[in-house]
Structure 1
């Protein structure tokens, strides 16, 4: 018992993070992530059972493959927010369970890099639900393990940067994707961890330096191996760190060999991905998605008017990561309280970060902000689209996490007040709890039901021995506890005696 009393509460952070993320993994059915039918098929077709579950169709004009019908129709509720996930029942328990269909909807043309699908393919089996759930758990464990290792290995003054950058940028879209079957999870993890691991690599020595270099290499592989745009983002993040850490010393040039090598590896993945070509050339008009953010889609400006419209409305894409746009297939609308809490927390952290704006940090922050603004405008202009069409917030999420992190550079000079910490923790706790509840309600019954009790009128749920309300309560409390434990590790104003007492207790 005496030994247990000496264990700091911070040691509970990885456990709390796992619980909070696992709650989100159970909050959505398989197929709830954007384009999950495509990504799950691609994983099955890269797995050891591909010969049986993803056989090429001979003589087909397209790259057709024969797959289980459950994979093809897994997202039967997409863009129908009033339809629950109960439509999946017949896919897994009825006569359709053993049926197969032909499809060309998968990574058969090399649009995406192959690494994410190859890794996830290891977990494929005849049980679609169990396999997909294991994939989610694997990504969650990998994410928590990487952040825990980074926290322990980074120089002490960089640890708050790691915590703040992730906490204020991942509610609600980030935490939803981290617990999904979407390669955007790996893209976000890769970009969001690679840059700070590389910074720690430049600032450390000995075994810590070697370990941080290894984490950087892993993160770069995750980013470049999941999405083509993430390879670009990871390269951009590496360039920012090379500038920020630059010193005219021999040690710097020797250290720069690793990021140069990993940059070439990322470039190799990028050149193999057809996805990046679509982005640079502009997405086609086929299946233009109108989120409702950019108007009704019936009138599209042109010329200077189109440019002005997109430049002025790009912030809507950023806000989409903080609750302004729906989750999943953009059909799970978040209440205003989610956006208010997430945006409020980011603004507080951002203003505090700007207070410690020495010239190198100013350049890095400005560069990240310019890319966040210019890149989506360029892609939209190429095809004549407006904000709200084709380019989705999740495409920019890795850059948002990077931006939040570089804003937090400079700790411990970025000193918080106890009230600011409590305010941010409270806002994010409420935002997470409301978002989790809303997301679960959408799939349990559809949005046409409004009971606070998630166990009421349930039409769909996992075959597990715990109820939806248990998942929501435990997940929400775990996230809240996590925030307050992490808040104790943020540098505080030395004149704020109350904050010092709280920190000593925790």
Structure 2
């Protein structure tokens, strides 16, 4: 294997900066183009975030959720969902706020028991703004932070010996749904982006051994793993898989050599402590809620009744398996409260890209790499079904497509990365790789762009109206006008394409040099 010196720190962190800017622009465009309360369960997350930064981590249990003290304009988000599940209704139907926007009132959130770490990081704009600007500011803060986490994956991939194929997998894994969630106040943004970064970091540590970069990579792994694990109840499972599955690529001797590094052991210990806190938060939150009632009688809780409550685990498992392709389409993109699916064109583009990666994996992977590819595929197909099967009898059918994104993105990135490793020493043509990158980027831009435009139309004028009316007669106008989110999204796509091409160009130059050396060696042999 040809030794390649690591990219200089300035170069690889330049990749991070460029990717961060691009992804933040894309997520911020979604943050502005999405009406208040249009994200899945977003009112609950808005109220939770505003209460956490005011020191109220849980709040007493009320009939419809935990009762907490928040600004009136944040609590009012519960009343601004008139367009939810009505795709033909634009967002201007939302009623105006009643009362003083900045007045502190009692709000109700169904996210009261959620881990507070994400909310503490994004809720602080409500301490600065006293009107709905605070909601959009929270979204943009979440967009910037989750985009920074995701950008770390691009930086890590740029340090690979042959980064082009892994880069393609990373790009395809960032479906429209990933960027959309990053532009909302929703802990899934940290969960999905953090799982991507943790998995890429672990793959990098395992397959791109370099002691000079080990501390940096381990630090990234620790930060993103702890943040992602402390988002949703199931998040520690995704992080555990992101860390453990790549280890199957190592022999026992290689694993022992890795574990002899002090930085590896310290990192593992910190991640374990972070995951332990995440697991402990559920009983902690229940105790805090009880203490907040001050010994008052228990409140009758009015809960949402999900379908199929009482059904057997086998029923839940089979139902999930039958919905595999439906959930797959939702992971590509189903915006709003799952009432605005991406257009069929976007589904087709991503299906072709995903199919190409999986077909390459099936054709090229052997040995340990094939084993890891099979493990990822089986987990992506069956693990969500097993989770839903375990919950359906007592809680009903609750699964939504985006819940499976963490394992879905690991499958895409993992197979592509393993294919890239299998092709490292193959005589690939530089021009062919460049064409492949360009095709993927064009598909990415077309699919993302069309999905964004369709969702914007749905919010502004409703889904059953003409495209012309989006410009000539908008019913709901996002902050700054329609041109602002469009410009941000276009700029984000352009910058991300430049970042990807720069990563590939470095790989292309190395490949050309290697081919010239090979031809020179062959000529000398003759």
Superimposed CA distance per residue, residues 230-280 of structure 1 (whole angstroms, 9 cap, x where no aligned partner): 211001111112332455155312244223541342133123237999xxx
Residue in 2 that maps onto 1:157: 161
Paired residues, number: 465
Query: 3-state SS of the aligned residue for 1:34?
Result: coil
Superimposed CA distance per residue, residues 440-478 of structure 1 (whole angstroms, 9 cap, x where no aligned partner): 1122222243224633322222442xx314532552364
Residue in 2 that maps onto 1:248: 253
* From 478, 487, 496, the counterpart of 1:482: 496
* From 181, 184, 187, the counterpart of 2:185: 181
1:392 pairs with 2:397: no
Structure 1 residues 163, 304: CA separation in 2 closer, same or farther (over 3 Å shift)? same
State the distance in 1 between where 2:284 and 2:340 align.
26
State the distance in 2 between where 1:172 and 1:390 align.
22
State the distance in 1 between where 2:234 and 2:58 align.
29
Query: 3-state SS of the aligned residue for 1:64?
Result: strand
State the distance in 1 between where 2:62 and 2:27 align.
44
Residue in 2 that maps onto 1:169: 173
Residue in 1 that maps onto 2:341: 333
State the distance in 2 between where 1:396 and 1:221 align.
19
Structure 1 residues 59, 288: CA separation in 2 closer, same or farther (over 3 Å shift)? closer
Query: 3-state SS of the aligned residue for 2:186?
Result: coil
1:366 pairs with 2:374: yes
State the distance in 2 between where 1:20 and 1:368 align.
28
Do the aligned residues in 1 keep the contact of 2:205 with 2:214 (CA within 8 Å)?
yes
State the distance in 2 between where 1:147 and 1:372 align.
20
Structure 1 residues 462, 366: CA separation in 2 closer, same or farther (over 3 Å shift)? same
Query: 3-state SS of the aligned residue for 2:253?
Result: coil
Q: Which runs of no fewer than 5 residues in structure 1 stay unpaired?
A: 1-6, 278-283, 291-296, 501-506
Query: 3-state SS of the aligned residue for 1:156?
Result: coil
Do the aligned residues in 2 keep the contact of 1:161 with 1:405 (CA within 8 Å)?
no
* From 400, 408, 417, the counterpart of 2:416: 408
1:311 pairs with 2:317: no
Do the aligned residues in 2 keep the contact of 1:166 with 1:404 (CA within 8 Å)?
yes
Do the aligned residues in 2 keep the contact of 1:57 with 1:102 (CA within 8 Å)?
no
Residue in 2 that maps onto 1:504: none
Query: 3-state SS of the aligned residue for 1:409?
Result: helix
Do the aligned residues in 1 keep the contact of 2:313 with 2:391 (CA within 8 Å)?
no
Superimposed CA distance per residue, residues 102-155 of structure 1 (whole angstroms, 9 cap, x where no aligned partner): 4442443x2x22211122233322435333333333333334434545544553
Residue in 2 that maps onto 1:4: none
* From 117, 127, 133, the counterpart of 1:130: 133
Residue in 1 that maps onto 2:230: 225
Q: CA deviation at 1:352?
A: 2.9
State the distance in 2 between where 1:448 and 1:429 align.
24
Do the aligned residues in 2 keep the contact of 1:27 with 1:440 (CA within 8 Å)?
yes
Structure 1 residues 82, 210: CA separation in 2 closer, same or farther (over 3 Å shift)? same
Query: 3-state SS of the aligned residue for 1:461?
Result: coil
* From 262, 265, 269, the counterpart of 2:278: 269
* From 104, 113, 121, the counterpart of 2:115: 113
Query: 3-state SS of the aligned residue for 1:252?
Result: helix
User: Normalising by the residue count of structure 2, what TM-score does the alignment of the two structures yield?
Assistant: 0.76
Residue in 2 that maps onto 1:431: 447
Structure 1 residues 178, 239: CA separation in 2 closer, same or farther (over 3 Å shift)? same
State the distance in 2 between where 1:64 and 1:18 align.
33
Residue in 1 that maps onto 2:68: 65
Query: 3-state SS of the aligned residue for 2:332?
Result: coil
Residue in 2 that maps onto 1:380: 388
Q: CA deviation at 1:172?
A: 1.9
Larger of the two Rg values belongs to structure: 2
State the distance in 1 between where 2:239 and 2:485 align.
34
Residue in 1 that maps onto 2:91: 85
1:37 pairs with 2:81: no
Query: 3-state SS of the aligned residue for 1:192?
Result: helix
Q: Which runs of no fewer than 5 residues in structure 2 stay unpaired?
A: 1-10, 287-300, 516-526
Query: 3-state SS of the aligned residue for 1:428?
Result: helix
Do the aligned residues in 2 keep the contact of 1:195 with 1:237 (CA within 8 Å)?
yes
State the distance in 1 between where 2:281 and 2:148 align.
29
User: Normalising by the residue count of structure 1, what TM-score does the alignment of the two structures yield?
Assistant: 0.79
Do the aligned residues in 2 keep the contact of 1:444 with 1:461 (CA within 8 Å)?
yes
Superimposed CA distance per residue, residues 25-44 of structure 1 (whole angstroms, 9 cap, x where no aligned partner): 22212322111111111101
State the distance in 1 between where 2:433 and 2:332 align.
24
State the distance in 1 between where 2:245 and 2:257 align.
18
State the distance in 1 between where 2:250 and 2:61 align.
55
* From 447, 455, 472, the counterpart of 2:471: 455
Do the aligned residues in 1 keep the contact of 2:51 with 2:69 (CA within 8 Å)?
no
Query: 3-state SS of the aligned residue for 1:90?
Result: coil
State the distance in 1 between where 2:341 and 2:64 align.
39
Structure 1 residues 300, 315: CA separation in 2 closer, same or farther (over 3 Å shift)? farther
Structure 1 residues 176, 441: CA separation in 2 closer, same or farther (over 3 Å shift)? same
State the distance in 2 between where 1:187 and 1:469 align.
30
